[in-house]
């Protein structure tokens, strides 16, 4: 492939150089792997001796058409005689049609859609493109696997489509050494090896490549799409605790704007971090039955003194009835100092355990399901709120967690969950010393208005 090799990027060359009988790739979208696979298939089909038929399937008809065009282009580049047949009937009994390329040696490359019956009674090389997006992967694999029984090779290429499918299981099994050779190419891998240069049409600087990646990520829509479609990280939407629909239904353009504060009672939640994650503080105002996010503070690598100063500013700005702080680890001292400053009855430290996380997650979900919360329209916050997933441990207990990423560790989720917990209906204030005053805190009637302002 001397002449053609100049057209390929390193990750594509690596795929082509791997002569393993069984290969599978987890890949980013639009990095040229189907185009590369078409070259390999023409190369394997065209020899006068040892050539083979190729049976290719993708998730839809347009992808099949695109692939067969790639094959015809490579046939011409390699100087192989042949004819592009278009759509032909290849099995009259089953009414199976394919887009076919006939080669001079009598071999044929066939591109079909994902109908399992099309693969019955066939033999040759098997290529399943975007396999995770085939409608019935189990039936497709059952029908297509016998194609390679007589020693022919198989190739599976796909981006991820969650975890509950055969493609995900096949990748996981390949990691355990089941005979399939696994390749992985994320969008970052591809760009670092020249993809953006190829797209732009000139050699880019490293800074330009990173800027290209930043823009792609920013315009992607949401973090889950970026991770799954471009970074080879499978995400199962079915396990997302707060779905996109729940989150979108509760977003409001007037949420998160401190200037719209109505001077009603507020509640605060604070997820504390120092280096690895983000410190996030949510202040919510209760208007009727609805909690409105009034202000969100995000701090990264902030000193504890700076975090305490920000907490004090919020306490002075809003009429905060109660605040819940993450008391786990680094939050221990912060919680103690907050209690001393703002009053024991107004500050609750929450130790993050599986049980307490479950309570926070349940409260936050209930608010979203009932649409009794209004959150800002903010991509980073939305991705963080969506990132937490429920899993069941080996002991049968629920566990709520999220992957740690560049933008923290679901810090918005836990901060807002703490604020909702602070506003819980079961809370009855027993005593409270207004911030900024000294003396003995008065006993309060649980049903009285502790601040003397409009009812909440």
Q: Identify any residues that bridge with 208 across adjacent strands, giving them in sequence order.
A: none
Q: Which residue pairs from 45-50 have beta carbons closer than 8 angstroms and sit at least 24 positions apart in sequence?
A: 45/103, 45/105, 45/107, 45/108, 45/109, 45/125, 46/75, 46/78, 46/80, 46/82, 46/103, 46/105, 46/107, 47/105, 48/105
Residue 45 and residue 116 in contact, taking contact as beta carbons nearer than 8 Å = no
**pLDDT tens digit sequence for 119-159:** 888 999 999 999 999 988 999 999 999 999 999 999 999 99
Tokens 């209004």 correspond to 374
**3 state DSSP class of 320:** strand
By the 10 Å C-beta count (0-12 exposed, 13-18 middle, 19+ buried), 371 is classed as exposed
Three-class SS state of 299:
strand
Residues forming beta bridges with residue 84, ordered by sequence position: 101
Given this model, what pLDDT does residue 365 score?
94
- Kindly give, in sequence order, each residue whose CB lies less than 8 Å from that of residue 177, ignoring residues fewer than 6 positions away: none
Strand order in the sheet with 290-300: 347-350, 319-326, 265-271, 278-287, 290-300, 373-374
Q: Is the pTM of this model over 0.85?
A: no
The span from the CA of 275 to the CA of 14, in Å, is 38
pLDDT of residue 254: 95
Low-confidence residues in the chain, pLDDT < 50: 1, 426-456
Give the separation between CA 314 and CA 388, rounded to whole angstroms. 27
Question: Looking at the DSSP assignment, which residues form a beta bridge with residue 86?
Answer: 100
Q: Which residue has the tokens 């009988």?
A: 21
Q: What is the maximal distance between C-alpha atoms in the chain?
A: 98
Say what the pLDDT of residue 227 is: 86
Residues 331 and 74: their CA atoms lie apart, in Å, by: 61
Among 315, 310, 286, residue whose Cα is nearest residue 298: 310
pLDDT at res. 394:
66
Distance CA 120, CA 99 (A): 17
For residue 13, the SS3 value is helix
Name residues whose C-beta falls within 8 Å of residue 277's C-beta, 6 or more positions apart in sequence: 271, 404, 408, 409, 411
Say if residues 307 and 388 touch (Cβ distance below 8 Å). Answer: no
Q: CA-to-CA distance for 144 and 54, rounded, in angstroms?
A: 12
């Amino acid at each position: 492939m001397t002449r053609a090799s100049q057209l390929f990027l390193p990750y594509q060359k690596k795929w082509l150089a791997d002569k393993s009988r069984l290969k599978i790739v987890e890949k980013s979208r639009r990095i040229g792997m189907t185009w590369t696979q078409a070259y390999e298939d023409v190369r394997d089909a065209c020899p006068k001796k040892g050539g083979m038929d190729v049976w290719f399937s993708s998730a839809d008809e347009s992808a099949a058409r695109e692939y067969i065009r790639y094959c015809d282009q490579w046939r011409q580049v390699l100087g192989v005689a042949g004819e592009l047949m278009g759509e032909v009937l290849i099995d009259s009994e089953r009414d199976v049609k394919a887009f076919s390329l006939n080669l001079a040696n009598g071999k044929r490359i066939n591109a079909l859609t994902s109908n399992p019956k099309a693969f019955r009674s066939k033999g040759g090389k098997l290529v399943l493109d975007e396999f995770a997006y085939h409608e019935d992967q189990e039936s497709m694999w059952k029908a297509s696997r016998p194609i390679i029984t007589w020693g022919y090779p198989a190739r599976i290429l796909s981006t991820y489509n969650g975890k509950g499918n055969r493609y995900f299981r096949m990748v996981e099994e390949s990691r355990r050494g089941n005979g399939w050779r696994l390749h992985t190419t994320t969008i970052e891998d591809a760009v670092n090896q020249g993809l953006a240069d190829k797209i732009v049409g000139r050699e880019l600087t490293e800074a330009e490549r990173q800027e290209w990646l930043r823009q792609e990520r920013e315009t992607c829509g949401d973090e889950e799409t970026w991770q799954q479609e471009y970074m080879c990280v499978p995400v199962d939407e079915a396990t997302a605790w707060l779905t996109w629909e729940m989150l979108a239904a509760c977003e409001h353009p007037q949420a998160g704007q401190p200037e719209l504060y109505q001077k009603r009672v507020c509640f605060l939640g604070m997820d504390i971090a120092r280096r690895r994650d983000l410190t996030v503080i949510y202040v919510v105002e209760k208007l009727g039955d609805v909690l409105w996010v009034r202000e969100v503070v995000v701090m990264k690598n902030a000193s504890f003194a700076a975090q305490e100063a920000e907490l004090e500013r919020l306490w002075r700005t809003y009429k905060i009835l109660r605040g819940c702080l993450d008391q786990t680890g680094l939050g221990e001292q912060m919680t103690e100092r907050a209690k001393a400053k703002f009053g024991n009855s107004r500050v609750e430290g929450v130790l993050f355990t599986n049980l307490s996380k479950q309570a926070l997650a349940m409260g936050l979900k209930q608010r979203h399901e009932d649409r009794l919360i209004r959150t800002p329209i903010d991509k980073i916050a939305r991705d963080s709120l969506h990132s937490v997933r429920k899993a069941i441990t080996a002991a049968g207990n629920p566990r709520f967690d999220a992957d740690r990423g560049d933008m923290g560790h679901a810090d918005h989720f836990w901060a807002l969950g703490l604020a909702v917990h602070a506003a819980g209906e079961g809370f009855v204030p027993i005593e409270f010393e207004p911030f900024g005053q000294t003396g003995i805190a008065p006993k309060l009637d649980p049903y009285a208005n502790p601040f003397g302002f409009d009812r909440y």
